[in-house]
Every structure is written in C-alpha cells, then in structure tokens.
C-alpha cells in the first residue's frame, strides 16, 4: 500500500535493522512495552508475540485504525491513537511495576519526547528504552563533556539515564529515504539526583541557566541568571576553573557547585527555570 507520508514520517523498511532494534530491548516476555510511533508495524509485528503486553501509540489517523485491525486478534497488543506527548504514561505501566519503551522518534519532537521519558524514568515508571533518532541528536545525547556536541541535552540525558550508542542506519533503510542518518540508542533509566545530592527540579533549572549561552563562561551565564559575583566567589569549587564553560564540565562538579550555591541562605530572585 502506497501512501503519501505526513507528520514527518519515514518508514523503516530494512528487515535486518528492524530485528536488531527489537532484539536490543532484550527479553520482554514478562514486560509491558510501549511503542512510540509504530507506523506500519515493522517493529510491532516482531514484538507482538514476544512482549507480555504491547501498547503502541500512533498519532496518524489512518495508520492507527489499520494497525488496530491488523492486530485485533492478539489480546496482548493494544493500539492507541494518541500523541505521545499527550499520553499519560503512568496509566500504561502495570501497578507497582515498570515498562520499557521502543520507537522511531519523530525528528521534529525528539527532544520533547526524550524529556517526557526522562521524567517518567525519574518517577520510577520506566526501566529502559531503545529509541531511534536523527544521528546529530543522538550524538548530542551521548556526547561526553569537553566535546563539541556536549550541551544541555547531553547533561540532562546523562543525569537521567545510562546511554548506549548501538548503531547508525543510512537513509536507504527507510521509505521514503530521509535526508539524514538515524542512530539507535539504548537508555537505562537511572536518575542520579539522589546520588549527587541535588533536587531534580532545582538542578534541572540550574543546568538550563548554566548552558544558556554556549559562548559564555559558566560564571557569566550564572551571573546573567541572577547569582551575584560575591555569592559565586564564596561557592565556587576549586575543581572548576573560573573561566570554564559548562560544556567542559561533568555532572559531578556541576552538582558540587549547585549544592554550594543552594546552601547559601539567600537565593537569587531571578533564578528560575526557563
């Protein structure tokens, strides 16, 4: 069946690739799996007999009913016509348990979906995810401090999950072929907020302030966020050079600075999440 792609859709047609993506999730026989954007069901049909329960979230008004009809005879498979960003993931996870996620994330909302998954992971709803995205975005998610691609998305991702870079697919693996390469990542949700002694809401806001302008030093970004020079001077850890930029620093020294700043009695009035 030929159809005009919409919603930025590029359908996975490489048979070896779709099996490799499904296999990367591991044994799901006793697991609830949430699939984001099943499209024509390339991965859905592999997971349907494997998963303890498979819930596929599809926004497309033509694809969703077609998938529902196709898998209507399989009681463990549920097709939900919904925008993943509007879905309440807590209602899809078994009580007292966790779910796994798999999907080819739409390029234009990849970051938004990742942030939603990190929030769910921090809430103890998700265990792992195998997700495909534009290669450039995947490089940012998995980048290490000190390299060009490291930034707010990298720090946020690595604060919430262990990131495994699995493999990259060429445009020819899709129909129609996109103009970019796509990379598959595996995320093991393991929030580090308690480990690093920081609160999630405050530290997330602090990271946004720290990476606000990439060309500025960390100190200048924080001054712009409302921290006074005297407060920064008193709180500044010796492990952080005064001219350092946020992208050169790992999460540990960033958390050390945040703890020192928040331990001060007076917080900057304009220091809010952006």
Strand-pair partners of 101: 34, 129
**Residue 160 annotated as binding site:** no
Is 37 annotated to bind a ligand? Reply is: yes
Is 220 marked as a binding-site residue?
no
The alpha carbons of the chain give a radius of gyration, in whole angstroms, of: 21
Q: How far apart are CA 112 and CA 210, in angstroms?
A: 20
Q: Is 57 annotated as a binding residue?
A: no
Do residues 89 and 123 lie in contact, with contact meaning Cβ atoms separated by under 8 Å? no
Rounded Cα gap, residues 169 and 92, in angstroms: 30
Q: Is 226 annotated as a binding residue?
A: no
Say whether 96 counts as a known binding-site residue.
no
Cβ burial of 72 (10 Å; 0-12, 13-18, 19+) is: exposed
Distance from C-alpha of 203 to C-alpha of 159, rounded to nearest angstrom: 10
Q: Is 89 helix (H, G, I), strand (E, B) or coil?
A: helix
Q: Which residues are annotated as a binding site for S-adenosyl-L-methionine?
A: 10, 12, 37, 58, 83, 104
Q: Which residues are annotated as a binding site?
A: 10, 12, 37, 58, 83, 104
């Amino acid at each position: 069946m030929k159809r005009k792609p919409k919603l930025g859709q590029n359908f996975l047609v490489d048979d070896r690739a779709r099996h490799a993506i499904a296999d990367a999730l591991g044994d799901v026989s006793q697991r609830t799996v949430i699939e984001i954007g099943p499209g024509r069901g390339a991965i859905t049909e592999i997971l349907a007999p494997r998963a303890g329960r498979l819930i596929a979230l599809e926004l497309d008004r033509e694809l969703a009913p077609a998938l529902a009809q196709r898998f209507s005879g399989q009681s463990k498979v549920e097709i939900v016509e919904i925008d993943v960003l509007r879905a309440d993931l807590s209602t899809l996870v078994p009580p007292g348990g966790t779910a796994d996620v798999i999907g080819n994330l739409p390029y234009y909302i990849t970051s938004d979906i990742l942030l939603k998954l990190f929030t769910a992971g921090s809430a103890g709803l998700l265990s792992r995810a195998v997700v495909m995205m534009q290669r450039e975005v995947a490089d940012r998610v998995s980048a290490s401090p000190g390299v060009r691609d490291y930034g707010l998305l990298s720090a946020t991702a690595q604060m919430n999950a262990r990131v495994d870079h699995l493999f990259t697919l060429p445009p020819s693996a899709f129909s129609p072929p996109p103009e970019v390469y796509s990379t598959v990542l595996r995320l093991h949700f393991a929030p580090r907020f308690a480990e690093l002694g920081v609160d999630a809401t405050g530290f997330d806001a602090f990271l946004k302030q720290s990476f606000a302008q990439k060309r500025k030093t960390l100190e200048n970004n924080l001054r712009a966020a409302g921290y006074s020079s005297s407060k920064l001077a008193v709180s500044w850890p010796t492990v952080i050079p005064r001219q350092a930029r946020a992208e050169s620093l790992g999460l540990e020294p960033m958390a050390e600075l945040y703890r020192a700043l928040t331990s001060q009695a007076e917080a900057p009035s304009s220091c809010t999440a952006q």
